[in-house]
């Protein structure tokens, strides 16, 4: 039987070595040892959109239309996604909380202080995603938004963006595999700690 990590690698198309290249360097330190790039990323993830990006350059050129174009940003984002099935997954979350939960986890997982665990305990991502339909389709949509968010976050350098996106892609399908397993009533095998124990190691 395939392990969760093996499923994550097969479905994401990424070897574990690529997914965890984020651990070869301390990304938090390479981004200036500041939480701002992570706050920017998570804010963009939940607030911004592909539509925003398409028009972002136009904004600088046609500043006269800035206020009108700004209002278009609200059209597409995770909390107001045009895909109702995806938007509904976040219906019971407060946007401010979701942003903070996400960036604190990223800060901690990418070499920064353990701010997530200090506030909320062990990340336990499979368990925390259990209430949600983390399907292959949901992973693709989540990754679409994350790719757009990375594009619109200039405070993160290109090399870090590639490493982060690989980690996100692998973890998204790791969560899909974990979600399938918990829905089938199976207990999470010890290898499920692949993402999580690594986090533990990094926060001690």
25 backbone φψ class: left, alpha, beta (φ>0; ψ -120 to 50): beta
Provide the mask over 63-92, with x wherever binding to ligand HEM is found by CB under 6 A and - wherever it is not.
--------------------------xx--
- Integer CA distances (angstroms), 67 to 62, 70, 71, 73, in order: 10, 5, 7, 10
Min CB(176)–ligand HEM separation in Å: 6
Q: Judged by CB, which is closer to ligand HEM: 59, or 130?
A: 130
**C-alpha–C-alpha distance, residues 142 and 164, integer Å:** 14
Per-residue x/- marks for ligand HEM, 153-192, CB under 6 A? ---------------x--xx--x-----------------
Q: How far is the CB of 42 from ligand HEM (least distance, A)?
A: 9
Residues 87-146 within binding reach of ligand HEM (CB under 6 A): 89-90, 93, 97-98, 101-102, 105, 120, 125, 128-129, 132, 134, 138-139, 142
Helix, strand, coil shares of the chain, percent, nearest 5, are: 75, 0, 25
What token pair was written down for 92? Answer: 């019971």
């Amino acid at each position: 039987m395939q392990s969760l990590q093996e499923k994550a690698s097969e479905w994401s198309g990424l070897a574990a070595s690529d997914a965890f290249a984020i651990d070869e360097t301390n990304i938090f330190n390479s981004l200036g040892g500041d939480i701002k790039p992570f706050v920017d990323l998570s804010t963009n993830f939940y607030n911004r959109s592909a539509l925003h990006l398409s028009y972002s350059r136009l904004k600088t050129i046609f500043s006269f239309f800035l206020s009108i174009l700004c209002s278009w940003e609200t059209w597409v984002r995770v909390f107001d996604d045009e895909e109702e099935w995806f938007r509904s997954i976040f219906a019971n979350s407060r946007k401010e909380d979701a942003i903070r939960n996400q960036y604190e986890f990223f800060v901690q997982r990418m070499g920064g202080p353990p701010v997530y665990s200090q506030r909320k305990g062990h990340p336990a991502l499979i368990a925390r995603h259990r209430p949600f339909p983390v399907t292959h389709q949901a992973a693709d949509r989540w990754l679409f938004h994350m790719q757009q968010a990375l594009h619109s976050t200039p405070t993160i350098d290109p090399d870090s963006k590639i490493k982060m996106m690989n980690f996100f892609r692998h973890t998204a399908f790791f969560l899909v595999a974990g979600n399938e397993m918990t829905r089938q009533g199976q207990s999470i095998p010890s290898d499920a700690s692949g993402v999580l124990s690594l986090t533990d190691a990094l926060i001690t």
